[in-house]
Amino acid sequence: MPAVFGRPGRRQDTVLAKMVGSTWLLGLLAQYLIVAGTAYLPLERRQERLLRVLSEVVSGPAREQLLILHLDAALPPDLIEAATRSLRLTPHLTLSIQHSTSGSTHQAVPLLRYKRPLHILVWYTPLPELLQTLCNQWKPSSLLFLSLGPTSATSLLREESLHIVENAVSLELIPTVGNSSDLIGVYTLFPFSMDPHKYLGHWERSTFGSWKALFPDRFPTFEGHTFHLATWIDDVPFFYGDASEQKGISITILEILSAKLNFTYTVTLKPPDLKWGTLENGSWIGVLGMIARNEKNFTVNALSITSDRLQSFDRSVSIWRDAMTVFLPRPQQLSKWLSIFQPLTLIMLACLALVTVIASASQHLQVRTTYTR
């Protein structure tokens, strides 16, 4: 029998309202039971547990890494001392994350950036804008952060600024129901995955004893993502051709990578200003300017390595080495009878003349004395 759909009557409205009200009450009761059955650890105990795990991390999987400890300026003095003490046996650099618009973090030290250190962020109040500033200044390759305040720092994993960070992990207390376990969860995020947020497990030395176990590859595949390249198709033998077909060493490497890592790409025929990329008046222009302005993702053109480019961009390993030669005009050929004296300085020539005169006079006196006898 076909069903007939229409507007319910008044009695049906009353029954429906009672059903909705009952469902709401049951949901509220279920939430109350879950909250009542959850024994949250006191903040002090959670802080102690997190710092103990941090100490185990730096003495375990990160023991061979250069460490930079960034402490939230909002941390109370006792927590700053406790966080510093947890790394007391490991050489590290300690910096402060300032909550100000004039300078949120310390300026990056170029030498430390090239060493690819592990940046440890200890928050009290996690702020995405401060994380963005730190990533812009340091361009870290490895990040580990935790929050000693009431707010979790794991949500920062979803920030777009971390999508270009090679390794990123957050430590957080695992919420449990019915007991007061103090297990610390290890979380990361796979930016291009369908299910990006990843729980790696609760912290144990045996489970996360190696660097690769703590920091798994966050980019095993790009899931068909389309990257937009800043290119100039006038770079023989690396990148040349036309809009329909590109050739060269760089395009061959790009095609292999796209097939291996599952991504597609678009190219740019030429930069708007027809420049390769230099720093002018504090701003990048040319091919690199499009990347600096976030208009494009990366480039595969062959660009030389300079100090300015190293400070502002990440680069791949070198795929080409070139040499430069200095040419000078050839001097006129000297007379052959002067060629023996030309390499000698005036002082040397004077010494030779003086020695010749003295030797001749001495020989003359010796011969004269012999004949006189």
What confidence tens digit (pLDDT) does each residue in 249-267 have? 999 999 999 999 999 999 9
Judged by average pLDDT, the poorest of 5-14, 156-165, 301-310, 353-362 is: 5-14
User: What's the distance, CA 338 to chain centroid?
Assistant: 63
Closest CA to 146 of 116, 168, 178, 179: 168
| Side-by-side strand order, sheet with 118-123 | 92-97, 67-72, 118-123, 142-147, 167-173, 184-189, 197-202
Of 232, 225, 228, 239, give the one whose Cα is nearest residue 296: 228
3-state secondary structure of 82: helix
| Rounded-to-integer distance, Cα 174 and Cα 182, Å | 7
**Same topology between domain 43-214 and domain 225-312:** no
Overall pTM > 0.85: no
Quick check: helix, strand or coil at residue 93? strand
Identify the DSSP state of 104: S
Which of 84-93, 129-138, 142-151 tops mean pLDDT? Answer: 142-151
CATH code of the domain occupying 225-312: 3.40.190.10
Q: What percent of the chain has pLDDT over 70?
A: 82
Percent of the chain having pLDDT more than 90?
A: 55
Over 90: is that where the pLDDT of 122 sits?
Answer: yes
Instruction: Burial-class residue 303 by CB neighbours within 10 Å (0-12, 13-18, 19+).
Output: middle
Cis peptide before 191 (omega within 30 of 0): no
Q: Which CATH architecture has domain 43-214?
A: 3-Layer(aba) Sandwich (3.40)
What's the pLDDT at 334? 67
C-alpha span between 97 and 78 (Å, rounded): 16
Model confidence at 176: pLDDT above 80 = no
Nearest to 151 by CA among 43, 52, 53, 51: 43
Question: Predicted confidence band at 39 (pLDDT cuts at 50, 70, 90)?
Answer: very low
What are the extents of the domains in the chain?
43-214, 225-312
Report residue 72 as tokens.
């939230």
| Mean pLDDT, range 97-104, rounded to an integer | 62
Q: What is the mean pLDDT of residues 90-94?
A: 89
Cβ–Cβ contacts within 10 Å for residue 15, how many?
Answer: 11
Q: For residue 185, which of 175, 195, 171 has the smallest C-alpha distance?
A: 171
Report yes or no: 90 and 116 within 8 Å, Cβ to Cβ: no
Contact 169, 53 (CB under 8 A): no
> Kind of pairing, strands 167-173 and 142-147?
parallel
Mean pLDDT along residues 101-116: 59
Give me the pLDDT at residue 365, please.
Answer: 84
Confidence of residue 177 (pLDDT cuts 50, 70, 90): low
Query: Checking DSSP bridges between strand 167-173 and strand 118-123, what pairing results, if any?
Result: unpaired
Instruction: Read off the tokens for 290.
Output: 């499009």
Q: How confident is the model at residue 120 (pLDDT cuts 50, 70, 90)?
A: very high
- Residue 35: pLDDT band (50, 70, 90) is very low
| Per-residue pLDDT at 86 | 92
Q: Which residues contact 209 (CB under 8 A, 6 or more apart)?
A: 60, 61
Spell out the SS3 assignment of 135-201.
HHHHCCCEEEEEECCCCCCHHHHHCHHHHHCCEEEEEEECCCCCCCCCCEEEEEECCCCCCCEEEEE
pLDDT digits (tens, 9 = 90+) for 180-211: 567 999 999 999 988 899 999 999 999 999 99
* SS3 of residue 298 by DSSP: strand
